[in-house]
Amino acid sequence: MSKRNVILKSSISGLLLAVVLLFLYNASTSETYEYIPKLNTNCPPGFKKSADNECIAQNLYMQYDSPNNKGVGGLKTGLPEVRDGFSPQEIDLGRYLFFDPALSGDGTISCATCHSPSKGFSDGLATSIGANNHKLTRAAPSLWNVGYLKKLFWDGRATTLEEQMQGPLFSVEEMNNTPENLIETLNSIATYKEMFAEAFPQKEKKSSIELHEVYKTITAFQSSLVSLNSKYDRYAHGYHQALNENEIAGMNVFRSFVARCAECHTPPLFTNQQFAVIGSPEPDGLPLDPGAQEPFHDKTLRGAFKVPSLRNIEKTAPYMHSGNFGTLRETVEFYTKGRGHAVPEDEDLIIHWHIWDPQLSDYELDRLVDFLKTLTDETFTPKIPETLPSGLKPSV
Ligand code: HEC
Ligand code: HEC
């Protein structure tokens, strides 16, 4: 063997040895290595960061001044006030919590289990399934644009996102956790402690995570779920080619005083945020859902539900509080089957005066569905975290 070959061979084996040693070193240290994701320092799309590190909502509807008195169904109407001003770190931490099943009593259910980004932040079920396979009595609403809503739940029994989330978190039928156990779980996860310290820099390092911080960050995340860039929106801001003929025909039916959809599903949010009794049916055999009557102890609200936004409605079948309609076509057809046609005989509901008998043709119903599909926009869908501080798999 020549001298050159010897040098070559020994340097190759030396290199191999180094690689093996490096590999062994990594393997021996990997157990103690914990990956701590750095929270995002940028605002999500649709928000601009202020000098105070607050994410402020930005959208084209800001160019139109008032959400009120602009005519029902008007295109150039502003949006109601939104929950914004959260920091990028609060929003990002809320994202980890939203997907983390560690928030449930037995570590199997996250918010995203019933509000999955792949299903329009709903769950594709007629009514949701909670802890211990408990079947709930209502459908999971979409969370798109939820930061604009003043009433939450189908019956409007909560007014803030912070208040709302304590429902599912601490209900035995949903996430089946307790405030004490939730706080204990989060405080036992070192990575969460680091992350909360990062999101709340004014807080003493190493001090305990508190419930109000959990509520605030999940609220921050939910308020960042903005969908305002649909084909309809492009049309509304003046790009007329954005909608085709059928879709425009559908929009005109939607806004017409015959169909009256826009009276309640008022653009640009496609809800006027009021209660309305429309008399939609329960699935066979189920008793009437009293809706807002219960929380407000008001008989005139028997069977009343909050008018839902119709944004991304294409993605969130089945429809209505009961999930009773499988398709959009069936849902819009409900409105032309006669006022109160599905109300049980022994009930005397005060049906809203805009629910009547518009006698829409099949053609008009098909166009309404075409139009509803122009409200789809998922461009700002947030990323599902690849790993979670709890070490559990994101539940979606
Ligand atoms: C087991 C399924 C399930 C889980 C888990 C769940 N939700 Fe829901 N969510 C629902 C259902 C069903 C409703 C409607 C209930 C009602 O109106 O009575 C709802 C309603 C909401 C609403 C009201 C939306 C509106 O338009 O009024 C918000 C906001 C919400 N959930 C957020 C969350 C958050 C945040 C979490 C996690 C802390 C969560 N949900 C966990 C099923 C679930
Ligand atoms: C009087 C107010 C009112 C009018 C008018 C109205 N809606 Fe509704 N809409 C509601 C309410 C309230 C609900 C929820 C009812 C329920 O869950 O039982 C609803 C539900 C829906 C849903 C299902 C939403 C979901 O998330 O499941 C669709 C789709 C819909 N409406 C479309 C229309 C169309 C199209 C028209 C016109 C033909 C129309 N609505 C007219 C109040 C109204």
Tokens coding 258: 């015959």
In this structure, what is the dihedral angle of CA atoms 300, 303, 307, 313, given to the nearest 10 degrees? -170
User: What count of Cα atoms within 13 Å lies in the side-chain half-sphere of residue 316?
Assistant: 31
Could you report the per-residue pLDDT of 77-136, keeping only the tens digit for each? 889 999 999 999 999 999 999 999 999 999 999 999 999 999 999 999 999 999 999 999
The CATH homologous superfamily for domain 47-223 is Cytochrome c-like domain (1.10.760.10)
What confidence score (pLDDT) does residue 75 get? 84
Among protein residues, the one whose CA lies closest to atom 3 of ligand 2? 264
Confidence of residue 28 (pLDDT cuts 50, 70, 90): very low
Query: What whole-number percentage of the chain has pLDDT above 70?
Result: 89
pLDDT at 72 exceeding the cut of 80: no
How far does residue 140's CA lie from ligand 1's centre (Å)? Answer: 6
How far does residue 320's CA lie from ligand 2's centre (Å)? Answer: 8
Burial of residue 103 (number of CB atoms within 10 Å: 0-12, 13-18, 19+): buried
Q: Which of 23-27, 163-167, 368-372 has the lowest mean pLDDT?
A: 23-27
Average confidence score pLDDT of the chain: 92
Q: Which of 27, 22, 89, 19 is nearest to 52 (CA)?
A: 89
Q: Which atom of ligand 2 is nearest to the CA of 353?
A: 1
Q: Which ligand is nearest to the CA of 331?
A: 2
Pocket test for ligand 1, best of 93, 106, 115, 227 (most atoms within 8 A of CB): 115
Q: Does residue 149 have its Cβ closer than 6 Å to ligand 1?
A: yes
Pairwise pLDDT comparison (18 vs 44), residue with the higher score: 44
Q: Which ligand is nearest to the CA of 270?
A: 2
Among protein residues, the one whose CA lies closest to atom 10 of ligand 2? 307
pLDDT at 223 exceeding the cut of 80: yes
Q: Which atom of ligand 2 is nearest to the CA of 304?
A: 12
Running DSSP on this structure, what letter comes out for residue 107? S
pLDDT at 36 exceeding the cut of 70: no
Q: Which ligand is nearest to the CA of 163?
A: 1
Tokens 């402690």 belong to residue: 193
What is the mean pLDDT of the segment spanning 341-366? 97
What confidence score (pLDDT) does residue 357 get? 92
Q: Which ligand is nearest to the CA of 322?
A: 2
Q: Which of 270, 370, 359, 278 is nearest to 329 (CA)?
A: 370
How far does residue 310's CA lie from ligand 2's centre (Å)? Answer: 8
pLDDT at 35 exceeding the cut of 80: no
- For residue 123, give every residue at least 6 positions away whose Cβ sits within 8 Å of its Cβ, in sequence order, or none: 113, 114, 115, 116, 129, 140
pLDDT at 73 exceeding the cut of 90: no
Q: Which of 231, 179, 248, 278 is nearest to 375 (CA)?
A: 231
Could you report the per-residue pLDDT of 254-282, keeping only the tens digit for each? 999 999 999 999 999 999 999 999 999 99
What confidence score (pLDDT) does residue 29 get? 42
Q: Which fold has domain 231-375?
A: Cytochrome Bc1 Complex; Chain D, domain 2 (1.10.760)
Pocket test for ligand 1, best of 99, 100, 113, 114 (most atoms within 8 A of CB): 114
Q: Is the Cβ–Cβ distance between 99 and 393 less than 8 Å?
A: no
Euclidean distance between CA atoms 143 and 171, whole angstroms: 19
Among protein residues, the one whose CA lies closest to atom 19 of ligand 2? 307
Q: Which atom of ligand 1 is nearest to the CA of 136?
A: 12
Euclidean distance between CA atoms 144 and 117, whole angstroms: 9
Confidence of residue 1 (pLDDT cuts 50, 70, 90): very low
Q: Which ligand is nearest to the CA of 360?
A: 2
Q: Does residue 174 have its Cβ closer than 6 Å to ligand 1?
A: yes
Q: Which of 62-76, 291-305, 339-353 has the lowest mean pLDDT?
A: 62-76
What is the mean pLDDT of the segment spanning 6-35? 50
Q: Which ligand is nearest to the CA of 99?
A: 1
How far does residue 312's CA lie from ligand 2's centre (Å)? Answer: 14
pLDDT at 233 exceeding the cut of 50: yes
What confidence score (pLDDT) does residue 251 get? 98
What confidence score (pLDDT) does residue 5 get? 57
Residue 94 to residues 99, 206, 214, 226: CA-CA distances in angstroms?
A: 9, 19, 8, 15
Query: What whole-number percentage of the chain has pLDDT above 90?
Result: 85
Q: Which of 32-36, 163-167, 288-292 has the lowest mean pLDDT?
A: 32-36
Helix axes 211-223, 88-99, angle to 10 degrees: 100
What confidence score (pLDDT) does residue 68 get? 56
Tokens 């990062």 belong to residue: 198
Alpha helices by DSSP H, 79-142: 88-99, 111-114
Tell me, yes or no, if the two domains 47-223 and 231-375 fold the same way: yes
What confidence score (pLDDT) does residue 3 get? 52
Pairwise pLDDT comparison (244 vs 76), residue with the higher score: 244
Ligand 2: lining residues by beta carbon, under 6 Å? 259-261, 263-265, 276, 278, 280, 305, 307-308, 310, 313, 316, 319-321, 328, 331-332, 335, 352, 354-355, 368
Q: Does residue 175 have its Cβ closer than 6 Å to ligand 1?
A: yes
pLDDT at 14 exceeding the cut of 70: no
How far does residue 45's CA lie from ligand 2's centre (Å)? Answer: 29
Among protein residues, the one whose CA lies closest to atom 11 of ligand 2? 307
Q: Is the Cβ–Cβ distance between 59 and 230 less than 8 Å?
A: no
Q: Which of 269, 261, 265, 264 is nearest to 227 (CA)?
A: 269
Pairwise pLDDT comparison (2 vs 329), residue with the higher score: 329
Confidence of residue 65 (pLDDT cuts 50, 70, 90): confident
- Three-class SS state of 100: coil
What confidence score (pLDDT) does residue 282 get? 97
Confidence of residue 76 (pLDDT cuts 50, 70, 90): confident
Could you report the per-residue pLDDT of 132-188, keeping only the tens digit for each? 999 999 999 999 999 999 999 999 999 999 999 999 999 999 999 999 999 999 999
pTM: 0.92
Domains of the chain: which residue ranges?
47-223, 231-375
Pocket test for ligand 2, best of 227, 277, 307 (most atoms within 8 A of CB): 307
- For residue 134, give every residue at least 6 positions away whose Cβ sits within 8 Å of its Cβ, in sequence order, or none: 172, 173, 174
